[in-house]
Amino acid sequence: MGTRSNPLLPPTLKRRPGARPTPLPPAYDAVLGEYAAALERAPLSDETRRTYRSRVRMFLSWLADHTATYSADPLADRQARDWAVRDYRMWLLRDGPARRSRVYVNSVLTALDDFHVRRGLGKADVDREDLPKSAPRALEERARIRWLRAVEAHLSPRGRCIALIPYYAGARISEVVRLDVGDVQMSARKGKLRLYGKGGKFREVDIHPKLRTELQLWLDERRNWPNAGANRALLLNAKGGRLTARAAGGIIAAIAQTAGLDDPTTAHVLRHTLATTLVRGKTDLVLVAEILGHARLETTRRYSLPSDKDKEEALKLITVDS
């Protein structure tokens, strides 16, 4: 089944609306163009292509300012490549203007591996960062209640669907905006969502009753939106085009602000909240992995780890006991 385009800028790479990508010297711009052409021929999802291009562009921009550091060309020499990637990793983690997380840095290294392999250099000899030994951040019980109340008070059925699909179906923001009307299958009592994930893989998730109500309200209202008959996208923008991931993320952020949540709330945090609730409720890990679209069970096991909040509470108990 084919993939559908919906570029997603991760939070750490968001640009101002209308801002242009960092310009590259002509030689490096040509290198990026060759890589982009290779990606178009590769069996990857549009989202992966977009992410890899963005990661490689940032690396080339950094390399343009540091190429004199190396005695050989990092884009042609394997040893120079290794040194450059190691230095870039440290720049992202420690020396750059915005320190990046270890998860983000590992994703950059994956993109650079793909880039160097397609150039015939092979993967750089650079270790991945050890990931935090904590469960991914999720909304705690009080925050979940405030979130759901804010969603319920939100006036737009479209906005309520955007807020609840990650929360009740565990969808990534890219999967939310990639939904077509035909991906929502509802009968009198039941329903399923067909979600398109990484690598063009799709999975079906049962529609929670509360999400089902909101989806029906939105489908009824959607008929009156511009271009509703011609555009198959479930979530439309004001002009009748497919809603972007950035716009959908902005809607989630606005609802979170209304809820008065202390920490930034994204679709991924809502997805983590569902996973944490299921795992801690003793749902079988294989089933949770299927719901979330995880390729590896080890990814799902992370939700059984103690959260940062759990560790804070444990420290408080130790302090009281001592």
Q: Which residues are catalytic?
A: 172, 198, 268, 271, 294, 303
CA distance 152 to 156: 10
DSSP 109: H
Query: Cα-flanking dihedrals φ and ψ of residue 222, to 5°?
Result: -55, -30
Sequence-distant (6+) residues with CB within 8 A of 150 are 255, 256, 258, 259
- Smallest CA-to-CA distance from 251 within 161, 188, 184, 313 is with 161
CB 112 within 8 A of CB 83: no
266 CB neighbour count, 10 Å cutoff: 18
- Smallest CA-to-CA distance from 104 within 86, 128, 125, 79 is with 128
Calculate the dihedral angle through the C-alpha atoms of 59, 61, 66, 67, rounding to the nearest 10 degrees.
90
